[in-house]
Structure 1
């Protein structure tokens, strides 16, 4: 009886260990780093790659939002905080998302994604929006496509899928992009795996926020798979410094007139005043 109890205990512990495997965390300062080259060599047809869109693949074109020691980068986040008490600011935020332009953090993201797809990997984008915006999915999809970013467009032969609708604002899959809605990134990925009924044998998650990666790791420990988290820091390499006068004009125009000016347009408006 004691031997049987020992065997059962060992079996239970073994199952627990198999299904509670932490991701290996890798820091990547750029796409050219040895760690990212190692990842592309690791990728194969059994691999699913999930890459955060904002601050990993793309950043806003304006220098106002350059990462690093730049206090202006939190401008939109500050408006989001204000909108919780003053809903009128949601219109300002929506206007910015509809008008602002984006650029690639690194042109090599195109080849990274295409090379991974050529090896048979499935690649999805992960997009978080601060507020719910109507039809924003198509805009985000098209602006990425315009930059040459093409994810795996379907899951279970579907290009569009509601992931979770427990709240009024649902998380969804749209043409290769997982929109997390009001949920955390970790919850959205977990729900995505459940609703598609597919546990990838190998998973690679790339994000710029280490806390989000930690939460993703904790959520996905229940699955038995090879799992890497990459803390990508490429967006911090930009040395652009915004012109305070341009930033002031951009913020005024957006808040007062719901009009977003990119840096060059704002600079042209300032020229007559400075001459």
Structure 2
């Protein structure tokens, strides 16, 4: 897999861009510590050597906000997507392997959450929270984003539990969860990894949507909140393109790199799509 991975242009390009943005999100706040919402300069300055991305309508450093916003955006994606992936795996593996009444109960639960209007639920919940944070936002995103992953993993598990190697492990007295973690899950590792990538990107988009409409964290900054502030204070009409272009480009770059990575991984793991 590594041989084909390092030769796949899509995977390398997507991973390189994502790694660069992640490095900025991790190292940036260490190099430029401070409050990203502090008023540091004159209002509405265009990009310059002093302020790389210019300043806002209130004299805030947009580059500093962008760096800290990247960090918040990655946290929402990692926490929300990771939680959704864990819930989806637990429910999918349990329903697919055990079957019977447990499968019916978990499948019913999955269908209930699946038909819920996710964004509407998140809007109501976030609107009534007194204090909103990145962690709380990621928690609710994770709790509402897992159903499709659970259904897909359940279907894969149904197929793998009837294979010879699974029957052999069961007859050998191997415990159930060891069969799932050592026999079934490794045979789905590529699918599980790509599922996490999709959940990661989905969590980022949902979080950015909530931030943009004003239901993001009450403290700190994120790329979605930067877009919200730019729209609220008429940056487009004032010609302050440097206020809304960086956060929009940042969200697009993160989600786009994840999508390109997913396409590249599909080509690596699927011999029929693999480029010679």
More strand by share: 1
Q: Structure 2 length as normaliser, TM-score?
A: 0.23
Q: Structure 1 length as normaliser, TM-score?
A: 0.24
More helix by share: 2
